Amino acid sequence: MAQTSFSGGEVRSNAVYGTEVWNRDPLPPPAAPKVYTYRLTVQHGKETIPAQATATSFEVLIDFERMMRELGYEFIRLERLEDD
């Protein structure tokens, strides 16, 4: 059996024995989750200017769309805004 020594332990048949710590540095903290901003556009059949809501939460946009639907507005589009 061949032995290869290194600082803190030895390798025997592709297995590591000893007290060597391979990664002494802790892992960096994970990146914060990406937050996107969305714009929901609705329009009433009689109006030429659409109504818009901008939010980072879909729950807010869904509530807005439901309220506007009750007032006779129709869904036009949902778009993700680019970061500036």
Residue 5: partners with Cβ closer than 8 Å, 6 or more residues away: none
On the question of pLDDT at 5 being above 60, the answer is no
Flag whether 2 is in a domain.
no
| More confident call, 45 vs 74 | 74
Tokens of 32: 């914060």
Flag whether 6 is in a domain.
no
Flag whether 80 is in a domain.
yes
Flag whether 20 is in a domain.
no
Which backbone phi and psi does 70 adopt, to 5 degrees? -65, -25
- Residues 29-71 have pLDDT tens digits of 899 988 999 999 999 987 888 999 999 999 999 999 999 999 9
Q: What is the pLDDT of residue 38?
A: 95
Flag whether 7 is in a domain.
no
Strand locations in 1-84 (E) = 3-6, 9-12, 15-18, 37-44, 51-55, 73-81
Flag whether 79 is in a domain.
yes
Flag whether 71 is in a domain.
yes
Question: In total, how many domains does the chain have?
Answer: 1
Taking CA atoms, 24 is separated from 27, 45, 59, in Å, by 9, 65, 43
- What pTM was computed for the model? 0.60
Q: How far is Cα 14 from Cα 4, in angstroms, rounded to an integer?
A: 10
- Return the CATH number at 79: 3.10.20
Host domain of residue 60: 35-84
